[in-house]
Amino acid sequence: MIRLFVPNPLAAGADIAPSPEQTRYLTGVMRRAVGDQITLFNGADGEWRAVLAEVSKRGCVLRVEAQLREQAIGPDLDLVIALVKRGRLETIVEKATELGARRIRLAITRFTNADHTNVERLRAIAIEAAEQTGRLDVPQIVAPEKLDRLLDDWAPDRRLMFCDEAGDARPVLEAVTGAGGSSWAVLIGPEGGFSAEERERLRAQAYVTPVTLGPRILRADTAAISALTLWQAAIGDWRELATP
């Protein structure tokens, strides 16, 4: 079943005009025809069954039929990721979406060697990953900010899991389980790690939980995926049984 994110309100009987890209995908790539069903979500109104009601040269019409799932939102988990090379950053956005991050913030740190990225492209990747993974929302992608600025404005009731390559941090499962709090963020540094000043500032904050990700050196994308996985398994939405 094809699953598409649309910006429109969803309600029974509504007619939706998908974007030109979605139309090409539906009718060109996937060869869907009038009468075929697809699934829609918009991040607000849950998941709906729709039917391809019209196909013409000018586009197509999706008629919304019935709600399949009520809107729901996962745990309050952000990812703060230093800018890394494009390919790895795109992997991280795709995976963070699958792993249920609610928001992805891009950080400029001492050892990042870029200060911008194609945020629109990352948003498109997040939408595609959300469609594929079955989420009812799309993670927000926040444009790059300096790490210092980001910490200046940090709301102290959001705990920050700081993946510290150096130092004597505790394993994630142990560290986060006892830390309390339900709003969290995971912080992953650039390939060159954090500077001494950055580490010192982070470690001095009461809201920071330093953690280690095992005895081997991980690339930034691996570290992000592993850290989000462990958080979800320890205190997030991976604790329940699968639904049969």
- Closest approach, Cβ 99 to its own copies, in A, equals 7
Q: What angle do CA 130, 132, 138 make, to 5 degrees?
A: 5
- Closest approach, Cβ 236 to its own copies, in A, equals 8
One-character DSSP codes across 183-240? EEEEEE--TT---HHHHHHHHT-TTEEEEE--SS---HHHHHHHHHHHHHHHHSTTSS
Taking the least distance from each CB to its own copies, the nearer of 23 and 135 is 135
Binding site for its own copies (CB under 8 A): 91, 94-95, 98-100, 132-135, 164, 166-173, 212-219, 222, 225-226, 229-230, 232-234, 237-244
Taking the least distance from each CB to its own copies, the nearer of 150 and 221 is 221
Report residue 159 CA to chain centroid gap. 18
Q: Is 85 exposed, middle or buried (0-12, 13-18, 19+ CB in 10 A)?
A: middle
Question: Two tokens at 118?
Answer: 């194609």
- Closest approach, Cβ 171 to its own copies, in A, equals 6
Taking the least distance from each CB to its own copies, the nearer of 49 and 88 is 88
Taking the least distance from each CB to its own copies, the nearer of 156 and 171 is 171
Taking the least distance from each CB to its own copies, the nearer of 21 and 240 is 240
- Closest approach, Cβ 178 to its own copies, in A, equals 15
Instruction: Report how far apart the first and last C-alpha atoms of the chain are (Å, whole number).
Output: 19
* Cα–Cα dist 200/243, whole Å: 44
- Closest approach, Cβ 53 to its own copies, in A, equals 27
Q: What's the Rg (C-alpha) of the chain?
A: 20
Q: What angle do CA 214, 219, 222 make, to 5 degrees?
A: 70
Taking the least distance from each CB to its own copies, the nearer of 9 and 167 is 167
- Closest approach, Cβ 136 to its own copies, in A, equals 10
Taking the least distance from each CB to its own copies, the nearer of 11 and 68 is 68
Phi-psi category of residue 100: left, alpha or beta, with phi > 0 → left and psi -120 to 50 → alpha:
left
- Closest approach, Cβ 151 to its own copies, in A, equals 22
Q: Are 97 and 132 in contact (CB under 8 A)?
A: no
